[in-house]
Structure 1
Amino acid sequence: MYNKNYLKILLFIFIGITIGIIPQIIGYICGPHKSYKEKNSSYECGFNSFKDSRIKFNIKYYLIAIFFILFDIESIFFFPWCISMKKIGIYGYITIMIFIFELIIAFLYILKEGALEW
């Protein structure tokens, strides 16, 4: 038998997935399906591409995306900790403080290396 606390997490995940999928389904059903000239034109930068698509990009774009994903995934670990805080006691508190300390050290390293500077 599963714990009631996990039911809250499953409900949170279900609502998140539902909010992400329902607008896409509505847009697909209600949106236009005909192709026309403006729809197929380039729109990201306002002009047609003039080079090969395999040009070099600055690595910092990728680093920022990876840092965001890493810190986002690490923040997910706070959900089970918050739910089970009463059961795990002081050992769980010390463990999460070590985890937060490691996150702070990683963030300070990122700032020191200048990975978030443009």
Structure 2
Amino acid sequence: MSDNFAAAGLLLAFAIVLPIVVMTVVHWLAPHKPHKEKLTTYECGNLPIGKAWIGFKINYFLYALVFAAFSVESIFLYPWALMYRKLGTYALVEMFIFMIILIIGFGYAWKRGALKWM
């Protein structure tokens, strides 16, 4: 049991130390030549027109959120399909309940207008 904790602790330490080491090495080796043009908002040479903070419709964010939720949930169907024969009838009932919950969520998003693009 303590071997599992040691491996997890070692992995955690590695996950913390590695990015710090990589960022330090990049900071030392990367060229640092600041220039007025490089410090502007856009490096393309065109002057920006208008404000950078413009409003977007919330529908775009809702559409992306619904897409992300349903795509992540649909990923759970693949391992279930692979192990279906070993899991038996109980897994079929559980997946049926899971699909009912997804369909209810999809219907709710559709009713609220989250799937309308414009």
Same fold (TM over 0.5): yes
Identity of counterpart residues, as a percentage? 37
1:1-16 matches, cutoff 5 A = none
Q: 1:80 & 1:64 partners in 2: Cα distance?
A: 26
1:74-93 matches, cutoff 5 A = 74-93=73-92
For the pair 1:40 / 2:39, whether they are aligned, the reply is no
1:109 alignment partner in structure 2: 108
Q: 1:111 & 1:41 partners in 2: Cα distance?
A: 44
2:98 alignment partner in structure 1: 99
Deviations 1:49-71 (A, max 9, x none): 53212121111111111111111
Q: 2:54 & 2:99 partners in 1: Cα distance?
A: 38
Q: 1:110 & 1:41 partners in 2: Cα distance?
A: 43
* CA RMSD of superposed structures (Å): 1.9
Q: 1:82 & 1:116 partners in 2: Cα distance?
A: 28
Q: 1:67 & 1:107 partners in 2: Cα distance?
A: 8
TM score, norm. by length of structure 2: 0.58
Deviation of residue 91 (structure 1)? 0.5
Deviation of residue 86 (structure 1)? 0.7
Q: In 2 relative to 1, CA 41–58 (structure 1 residues): closer, same or farther, beyond 3 Å?
A: farther
Q: Which runs of 5+ in 1 are unaligned?
A: 1-38, 43-47
Q: Which runs of 5+ in 2 are unaligned?
A: 1-42
Q: 2:53 & 2:63 partners in 1: Cα distance?
A: 20
Which of these two proteins has the greater Rg computed from alpha carbons? 2
Deviation of residue 116 (structure 1)? 1.4
Kindly tell me the number of residue pairs found equivalent between the two proteins. Answer: 75
